[in-house]
Structures are given as structure tokens and as C-alpha cells.
Amino acid sequence: MPTTDSQVNDALPRGADWNQLGEQSRNNFNDAGMPTRISYSGIPVAADGLDVHETAMSMLKRHQPDVTSVVLDVGAGAGAFVQRVLDNGYPHVHALEVNAPAFQVDEVPLHACNLDLAWADELPTRFDALVSLEVIEHLENPWHFARQCTAAVRPGGVIVLSTPNIQSSRSRLQFLLNAEFRFFANKDFERIGHMTSLTKDQIFHAFTCAGCELLDYRHSAHKGMPRPTSPKKMLKAILYAASYPFMRGAKCGEVSLFAFRRAD
């Protein structure tokens, strides 16, 4: 008997479940399924680097400067960004994280929702701002997620999100050589559940079609190629150096960050 679509979907881990399932297979993660390599205020940070959270905080402060705003962190993980928002003077913060045992900021209201479903309907209110960092790439339908984020904020509300930049110079070289984007190789799917790769324009279209306008686009630190340590890596570095000047578009930064505003 052939396998149906529903049977395939039921067999796959969903949404933020990947965070727990994939990270348990790696040595640099703790028992709660969160990374231990970098942290903020002792809370593990699930991002490529601290500059991702720092840049997102800067965007939130610029586009929603009212510290009385009610902010929702979607896919909050252990709560490192939630704690950063509190430390920046925003006292009204909520967190959405399906892996509730991983969340470490006790005083913040926590909502456990499946991000592949209609999670905005489960929230107690509409928010002034929403932040979702390194989440959308774990989900089955980014257009659905864009609509849910838009529904979760009030008209005029701000949405800040990030995702790996598959258009980065290193990702382009990896695709040229291996036919797979950086952070989206088969090993990344198996280990951390990166299933949905998106270009800058695809993110833009998903959120503008959901009823938002783009306010800001930034990227995290640009790392370039690591120092070559073998003849093979030296050849790769030479190819990178030769091709970089001819690359166009969003070639800088390992992570793309966006700020949108829901239309009134």
C-alpha cells in the first residue's frame, strides 16, 4: 500500500520539535536540548553568534522604541533573547516555545504552541512586537508562518525575524561545489532540522503578501572563508577569492535579519 501524504507528515518531527530532537545528537548541547557554545546572562543562545541577537535587539529598539510595548518571542528556546529584551527595558514580554522544559526565564509568560499549526489563534492577546530568530527554517510552510506572525501582532505592530542567509558568499560557493546551500545540507536536516531555505526576496514576498511592509534589512557578521589548512582548502579559497567580486545581491553575512510592520 502506498504511503499517503498524511502518513509522511505524521512521521516527521514538527516545528520546534526539531530543536530538541536534532540537538540531542550533538556533543555541544545540554540536556535541555539547547546549545552551550555561546550564552547571554548564562542562558544558551541558539544562533550562529551573539551578533544575531544584538542586531535583532537594535532593530526592535529602532522600530518599536516604546518600552511599554508588549513583545512576543516566537521560538524562544531557552530564553536568551527574552532576557535581553527585559534587560533593555521592555518589561512586558511573552515567550512561545513548544519545548517548555528548555525555557529558563521563569517570570515570563510561556505559551507552548506548534508553529506549523494556527498558533496565533491560541494566544491570549495581540502583540505590539514579535521577534522570531532562527525559527522559520525549521518549519514546513514559511508562507503560513508569515500569516500567523502577522495575525499575532496588532495593526501597526512590528515583526523582527532572522534566518540563515543562503545567498551568502560562502553558501554560494558551497552550492557551486556540492549542490547544497550552507546550513541546509543533508547533515543539517538530520541534526538540527533545517528544512526550509529562503532567499531575501522569498522572505520579503511571504511577509508582504501577508499584509506587512518591509522596514529594515540587515545581516550578521560576514565571515568569509576560513584560513586554508590543506591543498584542497587552498584551492577552495582561491576559487572563493576569484568569484567574490562577481557575486551580486545579499552576499554578505551568515544570517539575514528583517523588520516588517503590519499594515494598519
Q: Is the dihedral of CA 40, 192, 18, 58 positive or negative?
A: positive
Is the pLDDT higher at 226 or at 83?
83
Q: Report residue 254 as a C-alpha cell.
A: 551568515
Mean pLDDT of the chain: 86
SS (H, E, C) 185-216: CHHHHHHHCCCCCCCHHHHHHHHHHCCEEEEE
What is the pLDDT at residue 47?
A: 86
Q: Is pLDDT at 10 greater than 90 in this prediction? A: no
Element (H, E) at 10: helix 5-11
DSSP string across 39-77: EETTEE--SS-HHHHHHHHHHHHHH---TT--EEEET-T
Of residues 12 and 185, the one with the higher pLDDT is 185
Whether the pLDDT of residue 17 is over 80: the answer is no
Q: Are 253 and 220 in contact (CB under 8 A)?
A: yes
Closest CA to 167 of 157, 159, 175: 175
Higher pLDDT: 233 or 5? It is 233
How large is the average pLDDT for residues 224-252? 89
Give me the domain span that covers residue 102. Answer: 5-262
pLDDT of residue 8: 30
Q: What pLDDT does residue 16 have?
A: 36
d(CA 94, CA 29): 25
Q: E-assigned strands of the chain?
A: 39-40, 43-44, 71-74, 93-96, 110-111, 127-133, 153-164, 212-219, 255-262
Residue 232 banded pLDDT, cuts 50, 70, 90? confident
Tens digits of per-residue pLDDT, 91-127?
999 999 999 999 999 999 999 999 999 999 999 999 9
What was the pLDDT predicted at 105?
96
> Cell 511577509 maps to which residue?
207
Amino acid at 112: A
Tell me how many domains the chain contains. Answer: 1
pLDDT in tens, 192-216: 889 999 999 999 999 999 999 999 9
Rounded (5°) CA angle 194-178-15: 5
Could you read off the pLDDT of 128-140 as tens digits, one per residue?
999 999 999 999 9
Q: What proportion of the chain, given as a percentage, has pLDDT over 70?
A: 86
For position 124, what pLDDT does the model report? 93
- Residue 137 maps to which CATH number? 3.40.50.150
Tell me the C-alpha distance between 174 and 152, whole Å: 36
Judge contact between 71 and 60, C-beta under 8 A.
Answer: yes
Least confident piece of the model among 16-20, 86-90, 133-137:
16-20
Cell numbers that stand for 163 in this block: 534566518
Distance (Å) of CA 180 to CA 169, 171, 228, 255, 261: 13, 8, 21, 17, 32
Q: Is residue 35 over pLDDT 50? A: no
